[in-house]
A and B are shown apart, each in its own frame.
Chain A
Amino acid sequence: MSRIIAGIATSHVPAIGGAYDRGAQADPDWKPLFDAYIPVRAWLRQLRPDVAIVVYNDHGGDFFFDKYPTFAIGAADHYAVADEGMGIRPLPRVRGHFEFSRSLVHSLVYDEFDLTVCQELAVEHGFLVPMHLCFEHTPD
C-alpha cells in the first residue's frame, strides 16, 4: 500500500525551461522565481518520496488531434524528452516506475476512468518544468 505524503501545485510556463537551460537562475528577472523553489527542494529531500505522480496537460508534446485521449497515463521504465519544436532539451530521460504505474492503471480502470495507457510517452514542458524546479537531477 502506498501513502500520499505531499502534494505540490506549480507553474509550468515553458519560458522557465528556457531560462533553466540557459542557466539564468541568477538573472534579476528570474531569480525570485527560481529562489522560491529552494525550500521546495529542501522539503522534498526531507520527505524522501519514492514516486512522483505528475499530472499535466500535454501541449502537443506527444499527442496530436488525430487520436486525442481525455486521460492518458504512462506505464514505462523510462520516458523520453520530447522535441517541442526547438530541439530536445539537455535533460536526462525520465525514470518511470512500471510496477507502480501498473497498479495505478489497474485501480483507475476498475474505478471506470477511461484511460489510454502509454508504454511510450515523450514528456514535455508541462511535465519537465515542475520536475526540474522541484528535484535536482543527474544523468542516468
Chain B
Amino acid sequence: MFDLRRSHQGYRINKMCNSLIVKDNRAAFQADEDAYMQRFGLSSEEQQCIRERDWARLVQLGGNIYFLIKLGFVTQNGLYRMGAQMRGETLEDFLKTRHAKGAR
C-alpha cells in the first residue's frame, strides 16, 4: 500500500516525475537526463533506475504510479509497456492478454 512511509521514501523520485507536467521541463529532461536528475537530489540507485526505466524497482523505491506515468509519457512508456515489464513479458505477449490488440 502506498502510505506516508512509502511517500516519504519515494519523495525525490515522485517530485522529479511530477516536475514533468511542465513542457519546458520535459524538454530539459529529454535534452540531458543526467543534468536534469541532478536538480532533485536523487540517490545514485534512484538515478540508475530512472535511466534504465526499471519501473518495478522504481515502485519498490517508493515511486507512485500517478507520478511514474508522467516519466512514462516523456519516455514513450505507456502503462501497457510498464505493466508488461513489471510482469517480465514483452509488450507483444502482454497485449495478447488484452481484448483490444491495438492498445498501447
Q: Distance (Å) between the CB of A81 and the closest chain B CB? A: 12
**What chain A residues lie within 8 Å of B66 (beta carbons)?**
59-60
A87-B18 Cα distance, complex, nearest whole Å: 13
Query: Chain B interface mostly helix, strand, loop or mixed?
Result: helix
A29-B42 Cα distance, complex, nearest whole Å: 41
Verify if B96 is at the interface (C-beta below 8 Å from A): no
**What chain B residues lie within 8 Å of A83 (beta carbons)?**
21-23
A85→B103 contact, CB < 8 A: no
Verify if B81 is at the interface (C-beta below 8 Å from A): no
Query: Which range contains the number of B residues in contact with the other chain?
Result: 20 to 34
- A64, A82, A85: the one contacting B73 at CB < 8 Å is A85
Query: Which range contains the number of A residues in contact with the other chain?
Result: 10 to 19
Which listed segment binds A: B7-15, B53-61, B86-94?
B7-15
A65→B103 contact, CB < 8 A: no
- A15, A60, A82, A87: the one contacting B67 at CB < 8 Å is A60
Scoring A residues 26 to 58 as 1 if CB is less than 8 Å from chain B, else 0, what string do you get? 000100000000000000000000000000000
Closest 3 CB pairs between A and B?
A85-B70, A29-B100, A59-B66
Given contact pairs A29-B102, A83-B23, A85-B73, a sample of 10 additional A-B residue pairs in the complex whose CB atoms are under 8 Å apart: A29-B100, A59-B66, A60-B18, A64-B14, A64-B18, A82-B21, A84-B73, A85-B21, A86-B73, A87-B23
Give chain B's interface residues, CB within 8 Å of chain A: 7, 11, 14-15, 18, 20-23, 26, 64, 66-67, 69-70, 73-74, 99-100, 102-103
Give chain A's interface residues, CB within 8 Å of chain B: 15, 29, 59-60, 64-66, 82-87
